[in-house]
Structure 1
Amino acid sequence: MGPFDRPEWFALLANAGKRPLVALAQDGSDMAALALTEANGRLEPLRNWYSFTWRQLAADSPDGERLLAEIARDLKTRSHRVTLWPVPDEDGSATRLETAFRAARWSVSRTQCDHNHVLEVGGRSFAEYWAARPGKMRTTLKRKAKKVEVEILDRFDPDAWHAYEDIYAESWKPEEGDPALLRRFAEDEGAAGRIRLGIARHEGQPVAAQFWTVENGVAYIHKLAHLESMKPLSAGTTLSAALFERAIDLDRVDWIDFGTGNDRYKADWMEAVRPRFMLDCLDPAQPKAWLPFAKRKVLELAPGVRQS
């Protein structure tokens, strides 16, 4: 379980305006749930752009599979279409969900919708990990590290968060999706002791910032930004290296997760890429599903045709 599987995360989304629809099945002590919402004329995951993953909440057992299939069957009374993403499969989630919906006689299309760059630490020290990085990265850190001072906080600090927001606003990054929600999430993670908030300063001025969390042996990289005007300092590289060192040598994580997206720079830091899947489930018995079902069939016959 990670940060996007907890009830507290779903509560944050609800408080931000999402309307939860939690599908629940229970048999004695066995329980399964799908955290969903109604949007775009269908059922979708209860998630937003900050979510690395979305998955079922159910035990990996025959009873769990049976309850997931019951939920899938019951969802036909709520919609003709259920679209789920970004679902991992290294833990079997995409396969379990596909199996459950097929068992409930949905027509399921499974496609890759995103990438997840990760690092399996494998018991290495930071020095061992760093020795395997591209030579250009190692040279950059050696030349530029002394130009900035790095601070890593394991608590939420309003001044540091304000510095992060200022840096992000002046960075190359797109406009923040929901800064109020992200701050509440950071505050909660800080209260739980899971936050790692890094700030790099040059002559006292914050020039780069990163927001990580650590739990259950995994470090999650949520946000990173640097001032474009200070790009020659390579403060982002220095700050990243410091946070990797903290996560590997002090937090002793087994994995570092760089979230979704296939940005080229992630490959310099990470060593593996995991797919994220979309499951598009249509109920052929409902007339509303016929048009999207027909479009799907056209795409299967002519994959070069783009679906609208």
Structure 2
Amino acid sequence: MASVQYLANPAGAQAAWTKALGRENQHAPFDRLAWWSALNDLCLPDEKPLLALASDGEARCALALMHRPGSGHLRSLGNWYSFWARPVFAAGGEALLPALTRDLARKARRITLQPLAQADAEPTAAAFAAAGWNVRAEQADVNHRVELAGRSFAEYWAARPGRLRETVRRKGAKGLAELHIVDRFDQAEWADYEAVYAQSWKPEEGSPAFLRRFAEEEGAAGTLRLGVARIDGRPVAAQLWTVDNGTAYIHKLAHVEDAKAHSPGTLLSHALFAHVIDRDGVRTIDFGSGDDGYKRDWMERARAMLRLDMHRPLDPRSWPYLLRDRLRGPGFPLAALRHGV
């Protein structure tokens, strides 16, 4: 029989949950207790975490949430650093999701989960709908990926746009940029990464402390791929990647504007793609959320990332939202909701 509990601080998880939600059982950083703990410690000034946990023997099901106290509205524990925020399972815990969605009715009148790939949104929406929640799905973002299907880097590169390949050929032939990739955290390399980001076109970093902690943890595990490009010793481009269970994740990238003519960011991307494909042997490269035009040159597949908005239909506070949704018409066409649940 499923047992459901709630944890107000990820750091207080018992050993069984620490193992179930650790690197041994969860093969993507966003599904791990360490990720949620770092978000709680460094990124949630106005929100409180709430981990919804269901267990039955060794089976585990977890949904990481956060809320503003007193709001009655739970949301995915995540931010712009999170590629996704989905239910997480261990040892057959998928069967526990219905019990968790039923019990969550005691905790909230509204739950919003995002972003989720359709493959994750379908069973999640079905479980919430079966538990009496009114569920609406909408597209929240776009995720760009490459599925390599056994290709070498040379084969992957041959399929890239000619304009991109010519840029790498011409700029690389000049030999101005020195490219360096490390798989362990290095203070000097990280300082150069931060220096590049501070001089780039990117907005101010939301939580430098969070990124550093993540890079340190991934470096300790050997999954960090931190690349820096330098011209005449000056760092001019930097990228933060990780490699996990056959997938390379591109977390951050930036270049210094006054070096743009030399395309150091493009050359560094070329080197990192070659590294993770031929040396790490990844099967997938994930460029995270966002439909930026430059991603299309490097990626081959775009998929919708969804938002699920769940309301308790008998709670009067839900009625304005339910009326609004009815007036807006159908949302994203999930199979789980095709009968208008």
TM class, shorter-length: over 0.9
Residue 88 (1) aligns with residue 120 (2): no
Distance in structure 2 (CA, Å) of the matches to 1:110 and 1:27: 29
- Contact 1:196–1:214 at 8 Å: present in 2 too? yes
How large is the Cα RMSD of the aligned pairs?
1.8
Amino acid at match of 1:164: Y
1:306 corresponding residue in structure 2: none
Normalising by structure 1, report the TM-score: 0.93
For each residue in 1:175-223, what CA deviation from the matched residue of structure 2 results, as whole angstroms up to 9, or x when unmatched?
A: 1111111111111110110000101011111100000000100000000
2:76 corresponding residue in structure 1: 45
Distance in structure 2 (CA, Å) of the matches to 1:110 and 1:5: 21
1:11 corresponding residue in structure 2: 37
Residue 35 (1) aligns with residue 64 (2): yes
Deviation at 1:11, TM superposition (A): 1.0
- Contact 1:123–1:254 at 8 Å: present in 2 too? yes
Question: Where does structure 1 differ by over 4 angstroms across 4 or more consecutive aligned residues?
Answer: none
Q: What pairs with 1:224-239 in structure 2 (closer than 5 Å)?
A: 224-239=253-268
- Contact 1:32–1:64 at 8 Å: present in 2 too? yes
Q: Which runs of 5+ in 2 are unaligned?
A: 1-26, 332-341
1:242 corresponding residue in structure 2: 271
Residue 281 (1) aligns with residue 310 (2): yes
For each residue in 1:55-102, what CA deviation from the matched residue of structure 2 results, as whole angstroms up to 9, or x when unmatched?
A: 1012596x724x21221111111111000000113xx31011101100
- Contact 1:189–1:195 at 8 Å: present in 2 too? yes
2:336 corresponding residue in structure 1: none
Identity between Structure 1 and Structure 2 (%): 51
Normalising by structure 2, report the TM-score: 0.84
SS in 2 for 1:4: helix
1:258 corresponding residue in structure 2: 287
Give the stretch that moved more between structures: 216-225 or 159-168.
159-168
Q: What pairs with 1:80-229 in structure 2 (closer than 5 Å)?
A: 80-89=109-118, 92-145=119-172, 146-229=175-258
- Contact 2:43–2:207 at 8 Å: present in 1 too? no
Distance in structure 1 (CA, Å) of the matches to 2:134 and 2:195: 47
For each residue in 1:216-249, what CA deviation from the matched residue of structure 2 results, as whole angstroms up to 9, or x when unmatched?
A: 0000000000001111000011000000000011
- Contact 1:54–1:88 at 8 Å: present in 2 too? no
- Contact 1:210–1:223 at 8 Å: present in 2 too? yes
1:71 corresponding residue in structure 2: 100
- Contact 1:226–1:235 at 8 Å: present in 2 too? yes
Give the number of equivalent residue pairs.
Answer: 299
Distance in structure 2 (CA, Å) of the matches to 1:297 and 1:118: 33
SS in 1 for 2:225: strand
Distance in structure 2 (CA, Å) of the matches to 1:17 and 1:156: 21
Q: Which runs of 5+ in 1 are unaligned?
A: 303-308
- Contact 2:52–2:63 at 8 Å: present in 1 too? yes
Distance in structure 1 (CA, Å) of the matches to 2:300 and 2:288: 14
